[in-house]
Structure 1
Amino acid sequence: MKNYDAIIIGGGACGLMCAAQAGLLGKKTLVLERNDKPGAKILISGGGRCNYTNLYTDTENFVSENPKFLNAVFNQWTVEDTVQFFENFGQIKGQEKTLGQLFPISNKAKDIVATFTNLLYDTHQDIWLNTEVLDVTKLEAGFELVVNKQGKRETLHAPKVVFASGGLPVAKLGASDFALRIAKKYDLPIIPTAPALVPLTITGKDADWYASLAGNSIFSRVYNDKISFEENILFTHWGLSGPAILQISSYWRPGETFHIDLLPKFKLEEIIKQERNTGGRRMVSQVLNDYFTKKTVEAFGKFLPLDLKIASLSKVDAKLIVDTIHKFKVKPAGDKGYDKAEVMRGGLSTEALNPKTLEVKGIPGLYFGGEAVDITGWLGGYNFQWAWAAGYAIAQDL
């Protein structure tokens, strides 16, 4: 067994960056990864294209009990650092898509992973694949790890241990609550966890109505009393998905409602007024057909008087139309769970960590980064930026 400066649990975004940065500093690490290849979640992100950062990253783009905790980490590793890192070590140029999202110009997530595997090789870092960590114990000096390496039980020792093992989403990629179990073992504070950036389900009397619109995508503003997002929503056979729905899901709790403005770029009240000024001869359905697909307008027939002429609308009717389109009320039954979630909300409380090094207060040499921590980014590259920054910050202290 070699003498390692640290053992890193998890070969995902945070763990790979941590090992790479440690290697650049002349340190020796061992990465333990459950899967048969590193960066499994990176490879499937963005439909295999990997939205690896967001140009407009700010602490406000994160859900946490204490998002300001991120300042100390983001001051060390910026979006510009991410861009430069992948250009320098992976020859990856970024192309900006919607809302600051940065993708490799090659559109290949494997190029992101290759940047790390090449760098780990060049700096002589070790990585064990098909290796599951079973337990971590703090000793007087350093840590003892019990692992299952390709079916064989082994015991390892290291002065420092980094938890970069992710959270609960996508179990088929090796996701687990192992980091949280170890946190509980040492009585560290944990914020309750839940799926985030996840599609939402609709049951009951309106389920068939949503299912009838399955496949329809509408640019909308989805909002509650905390926040709003303007992006597409997607109707599905079981409820709602699409970028705006995934975003609001991080701020939604079971039993709550939120609203959808299905026509955020226009004011239906003004449109109805203009129609009245020109005689109001068109029917409600004809006016709505200017802005929605025929299938969507037909579905609105459940709520609206589509066959009435605009001139015949009462104030009550007009208000119903405006409110239905601009304040469409949604009360989800639940979400699609961790297998369909992009990330996990909650996790190890930031109160347990040194904000600069991400070392556990009171347990020298133990570090947590990435998804296991109570830092959950919006959709669009923010979670990767947190993972890279966390990996960098930890590596400086190994």
Structure 2
Amino acid sequence: MTTRATDVLIVGAGAAGMMCAIEAGRRGRRVVVVDHASAPGEKIRISGGGRCNFTNLGVGLHAFLGGNPRFATSALKRFTQQDFIKRIDAAGIAWHEKTLGQLFCDGSAKQIIRMLTDAMAAAGVTLKLGTAVEMVEAHSDGFAARLSDGSSLTADALVIATGGKSIPKMGATGWAYDVARRFGLAVTETRPALVPLTFEPGLLAQTAPLAGLSVDAVVAHGRTRFREGLLFTHRGVSGPSILQISSYWREGEAITVSMAPDVDVFETLRAARTQNGRQAAATAVGHIVPRRLGDAVLAQAGVAGNLGDLSDKALRALDQAINGWTLKPVGSEGYRTAEVTLGGVDTAGLDQKTMAARDRSNLFFIGEAVDVTGWLGGYNFQWAWSSGWAAGQVC
């Protein structure tokens, strides 16, 4: 078995791992990045419909969850969204802003992967793909790893950048958490986040005919609310507003949905009743929400007939059904479709400036593996860039 010595071993060739490798390599460190996948940056490649929502202009602590969201402060302030945009610009990658500060490539997300791999090559980084770490252990002066290709590596520093459990078909596992526990770090509860929610059979029977229909909505859980698209599915609901709220929702809890957030439904229907009492309620409601949704709302509220036949109580019931729909999902679609993992390596055991374990300064955890989770819209990529950059300054 051949054994090679290096300064830094990074496990995971995703956004965080590649960023860390670039920074460490530029410092003159000998860096080896290993990944079991056949290509680097697979989550980058598929994100944003293939255009990669690579950051967000509004990055701030308000958009991050975790046991201690303030842990992310140092990395996010030292390598900001503007810093990453400068690298995108320097690479000649055209980009545009969509809604809510979300930045996407004009072309393919593969441009970002190429930018990162080119920068790694220029920094002298060795990239080993299709290679898994079968064993890793600590020595007095570093770490030793046995790889699936039959070789071994010794390294002064070890960086874990393998992400969380989301999208297992791409090879995602809880390996980072296993490593953390083995070296004495705590791991907080993990669960799927930014994920569609599912309904019990009774509610699903009511909403399944709406599958494929999308509306602008405000979705709330307690004091937390998001206004973005909501999509009815064959299993429940999805769309950006639902993915956002899924990070806050827990089984057994309710969410409230407003499907015409700019409309006072009661006053609108009452005015329509005064102007034309012979108008069918279905027609009037169909002017507020899509007709297919309106028919479902009328059935749910038990309302039928013309507006002139409806009492104020009936109009308020329609108002409640449209803008105060309270429901209890029974679950989510799980890691299979979750964009990220909520929870992870407990930040109490990490240094927020270096991302190193407090009790083992040459062991680093970065990116999604850590208990820092961002909103939908480029926030998690920025955490990957920032945390990878921070570790790369010292590993």
TM-score, normalised relative to structure 2: 0.96
- 1:80 corresponds to: 82
- 1:287 corresponds to: 284
Worse overlay, 1-10 or 321-330: 1-10
SS of the counterpart of 1:92?
coil
2:16 to 6, 14, 24: 14
Q: How do 1:302-313 residues align onto structure 2 when only pairs under 5 Å count?
A: 302-313=299-310
Q: Which aligned runs of 4 or more in structure 1 are off by greater than 4 angstroms?
A: none
For the residues of structure 1 that align with 2:350 and 2:71, how far apart are their CA atoms?
9
Give the letter for the 2:267 counterpart: E
- 1:116 corresponds to: 116
SS of the counterpart of 2:344?
strand
* Alpha-carbon distance change, 25 to 91 in structure 1, aligned in 2, over 3 angstroms: farther
What are the superposed Cα offsets for residues 175-234 of structure 1, whole Å, 9 maximum, x if unpaired?
111110011112312110000001111122121222111110011000010310101111
Residues 1:210 and 2:207 are matched in the alignment: yes
- 2:383 corresponds to: 386
For the residues of structure 2 that align with 1:300 and 1:53, how far apart are their CA atoms?
38
8 Å CA contact 2:12–2:160 kept in 1: the answer is yes
Residues 1:314 and 2:345 are matched in the alignment: no
SS of the counterpart of 1:5?
strand
- 1:70 corresponds to: 72
8 Å CA contact 1:23–1:120 kept in 2: the answer is yes
- 1:220 corresponds to: 217
- 2:261 corresponds to: 264
2:360 to 351, 359, 363: 363
Worse overlay, 226-235 or 303-312: 303-312
Give the letter for the 1:8 counterpart: I
For the residues of structure 1 that align with 2:93 and 2:6, how far apart are their CA atoms?
30
What are the superposed Cα offsets for residues 61-114 of structure 1, whole Å, 9 maximum, x if unpaired?
1111111111111111011001001222x22132101111101122x0100100
For the residues of structure 1 that align with 2:82 and 2:280, how far apart are their CA atoms?
53
For the residues of structure 2 that align with 1:379 and 1:313, how far apart are their CA atoms?
41
Residues 1:47 and 2:49 are matched in the alignment: yes
- 2:105 corresponds to: 104
Pairwise CA distance, 1:25 = 2.3
For the residues of structure 2 that align with 1:155 and 1:23, how far apart are their CA atoms?
21
Pairwise CA distance, 1:329 = 1.4
For the residues of structure 2 that align with 1:318 and 1:35, how far apart are their CA atoms?
56
1:164 to 161, 176, 190: 161
For the residues of structure 2 that align with 1:142 and 1:3, how far apart are their CA atoms?
10
For the residues of structure 2 that align with 1:306 and 1:24, how far apart are their CA atoms?
68
Residues 1:198 and 2:198 are matched in the alignment: no
Pairwise CA distance, 1:277 = 4.0
- 2:339 corresponds to: 342
SS of the counterpart of 2:231?
strand
- 1:91 corresponds to: 92
Pairwise CA distance, 1:299 = 1.7
For the residues of structure 2 that align with 1:74 and 1:215, how far apart are their CA atoms?
37
Worse overlay, 278-287 or 212-221: 278-287
For the residues of structure 2 that align with 1:65 and 1:44, how far apart are their CA atoms?
29
TM-score, normalised relative to structure 1: 0.95
8 Å CA contact 1:285–1:306 kept in 2: the answer is no
Give the letter for the 1:136 counterpart: V
For the residues of structure 2 that align with 1:84 and 1:23, how far apart are their CA atoms?
19
For the residues of structure 2 that align with 1:103 and 1:26, how far apart are their CA atoms?
32
2:61 to 38, 59, 68: 59
* Alpha-carbon distance change, 2 to 122 in structure 1, aligned in 2, over 3 angstroms: farther
2:298 to 281, 296, 301: 301
Give the letter for the 2:35 counterpart: E
SS of the counterpart of 1:42?
helix
Give the letter for the 1:290 counterpart: H
8 Å CA contact 2:4–2:153 kept in 1: the answer is no
Which residues of structure 1 form unaligned runs of 5+?
Answer: none
SS of the counterpart of 2:190?
strand
- 1:333 corresponds to: 330
SS of the counterpart of 1:124?
coil
Pairwise CA distance, 1:309 = 3.0
Give the letter for the 2:97 counterpart: E
For the residues of structure 2 that align with 1:67 and 1:9, how far apart are their CA atoms?
25
Residues 1:243 and 2:240 are matched in the alignment: yes
For the residues of structure 1 that align with 2:165 and 2:297, how far apart are their CA atoms?
38
Percent pairwise identity: 37
SS of the counterpart of 1:365?
strand
What are the superposed Cα offsets for residues 336-385 of structure 1, whole Å, 9 maximum, x if unpaired?
11111100000011111101000000112000000110111111100000
For the residues of structure 2 that align with 1:212 and 1:277, how far apart are their CA atoms?
32
For the residues of structure 1 that align with 2:47 and 2:377, how far apart are their CA atoms?
10
- 1:187 corresponds to: 184
Which residues of structure 2 form unaligned runs of 5+?
Answer: none
Pairwise CA distance, 1:240 = 0.7
Pairwise CA distance, 1:138 = 1.5
Pairwise CA distance, 1:5 = 2.0
For the residues of structure 2 that align with 1:332 and 1:174, how far apart are their CA atoms?
28
Pairwise CA distance, 1:44 = 0.7
8 Å CA contact 2:133–2:146 kept in 1: the answer is yes
For the residues of structure 1 that align with 2:296 and 2:319, how far apart are their CA atoms?
16
Residues 1:145 and 2:142 are matched in the alignment: no
Give the letter for the 2:332 counterpart: D
